[in-house]
């Protein structure tokens, strides 16, 4: 059986599956031996004109409904074991001098700048989804693990410490975590278990990486595991409180926060929230009632 005969068999099989799912599949022409669709005769002004067959409508049929790509900040769950074990979206890979960051409007990773100083990120760096800090960004995390991870990937992590920082006069704390699925680091529970020199390297990086931009960064003493959990829980509550306020304003529907400039994307509240999200909402003093999904004070 030739290559094009096999392709035609695949097209037929896909067509049958789509029909079983209720998708309309227009009749498609069979490929010729050179891989091109055969010409068809079209009557135009009483004369026969040979034109190539139209594009495969089955491909276009998958694009007939407008869809929105998942947003890593709002659509990725934080994880059922948070704040102990949580998901982290990696923005910058270990060893990189490129400052990638989340574009809040599109949900894609963009290049913000190349670091001005002769330094590289000592570990993978990113944020925890569905969290919010006072600077209207998700909480930042430095994930210690063996290998660099591609920007846009998410990993499971465990918080071991909190590094309080002041960046240009604004609070900008960092969670220090280990990859929960890295056998070399997953057994660490607290920052005090790490060699002092490793912490000195991390501290020095954040103190120096903006010096050539004439920007001041002040790094305070590093706190342990419990302080990190409190910071994550607080950021989860801030995010939940914002969602609750959006729900109150939109009468049972949910709108992604305006500060992410994601647009007026209103979606059904029940379809959006997981059981974990509902638990988080309970911590803010609200509950959901039956299928009406009305917000009530406890």
157 pairs with which residues across the strands?
86, 179
42 pairs with which residues across the strands?
49
76: number of Cβ within 10 Å: 17
Is 125 in the active site? no
154: number of Cβ within 10 Å: 19
> Which residue reads 């057994």 in tokens?
187
175: number of Cβ within 10 Å: 27
SS3 assignment for the chain:
CCHHHHHHHHHHHHHHHHHHCCCCCCCCCCCCCCCCCCEEEEEECCEEEEEECCCCHHHHHCCCCCCCCCCCCCCCCCCCCCCCEEEEEEEECCCCCEEEEECCCCCCEEEEEECCCCCCCCCEEEECCCCCCCCCCCCEEEEECCCCCCCCCEEEEEEEEEECEEECCEECCEEEEEECCCCCCCCCCCHHHCCHHHHHHHHHHHHHCCHHHCCCEEECCCECHHHHHHHHHHHHHHHHHHHHHHHHHCCCEEECCHHHCCCCCEEEHHHHCCHHHHHHHHHCCEEEECCCCEEEEC
- Active-site hit among 100, 116, 121, 209: 121
Residues with catalytic function: 121
């Amino acid at each position: 059986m030739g290559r094009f005969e096999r392709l035609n068999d695949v097209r037929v099989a896909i067509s049958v599956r789509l029909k079983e799912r209720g998708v309309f599949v227009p009749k498609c022409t069979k490929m010729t031996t050179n891989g091109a669709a055969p010409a068809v005769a079209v009557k135009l002004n009483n004369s026969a004109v040979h034109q190539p067959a139209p594009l495969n409508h089955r491909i276009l049929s998958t694009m007939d409904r407008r869809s929105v790509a998942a947003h890593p900040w709002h659509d990725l769950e934080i994880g059922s074991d948070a704040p102990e074990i949580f998901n982290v979206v990696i923005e910058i890979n270990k060893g990189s001098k490129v400052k990638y960051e989340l574009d809040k409007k599109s949900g894609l990773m963009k290049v913000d700048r190349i670091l001005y100083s002769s330094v590289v990120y000592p570990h993978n760096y990113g944020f925890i989804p569905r969290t919010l800090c006072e600077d209207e960004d998700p909480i930042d995390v430095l994930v210690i693990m063996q290998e660099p991870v591609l920007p846009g990937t998410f990993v499971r992590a465990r918080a071991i410490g909190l590094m309080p920082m002041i960046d240009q006069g604004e609070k900008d704390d960092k969670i220090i975590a280990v990859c929960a699925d890295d056998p070399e680091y997953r057994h660490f529970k607290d920052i005090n278990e790490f060699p002092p020199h490793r912490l000195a390297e991390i501290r020095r990086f954040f103190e120096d990486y903006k010096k050539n931009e004439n920007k001041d960064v002040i790094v305070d003493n590093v706190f342990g595991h419990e302080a990190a959990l409190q910071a994550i829980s607080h950021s989860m509550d801030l995010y939940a409180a914002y969602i609750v306020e959006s729900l109150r304003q939109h009468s049972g529907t949910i709108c992604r926060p305006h500060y992410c400039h994601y647009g007026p994307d209103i979606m059904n509240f029940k379809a959006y929230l997981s059981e974990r999200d509902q638990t988080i909402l309970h911590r803010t003093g609200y509950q959901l009632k039956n299928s009406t999904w009305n917000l009530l004070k406890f």
